[in-house]
Amino acid sequence: MTSINSDMTHTATVFVLTSTGTGQAVAFGLVCPEARYCGVLVRGADRVDRRFATPTDWQALEREIREGLPPTPLGRQTACGRLLAGDAAVTVQWMWAKLVDVGEPGQTAQALDALLLAAASKGAT
């Protein structure tokens, strides 16, 4: 089992969620397995919807990100696709990843929420 990384620099991976009906971006997601963080921000919302995963899902997420995500939409058979899409009629596609300094351990989720909000505001324009 993988333990939570105590280093305060983590890799944040950002995704766009697109409606299968309209093709429009309807949400953005951020996954940071080292911090056990997954959040989705629906367009127009100001609150992040946190997603929770099992230890097995976190291992699968870490593996998928480490092995490299394709530039094409992810299928529901992937851990990233399942966790971010939930039951919504959306496709999930990787946008970018970067190393982020998340500050103090107690501030990690807030720092990643802020990064997701910033990414969504840039991606929505």
| Whole-structure pTM value | 0.89
| pLDDT recorded at residue 40 | 97
Query: Using CA atoms, how far apart are residues 98 and 20, in angstroms rounded to an integer?
Result: 27
Task: Judge contact between 60 and 52, C-beta under 8 A.
Answer: no
Task: Judge contact between 15 and 31, C-beta under 8 A.
Answer: yes
**Confidence bin at 7 (pLDDT 50/70/90):** low
> What is the arithmetic mean of pLDDT over 93-112?
89
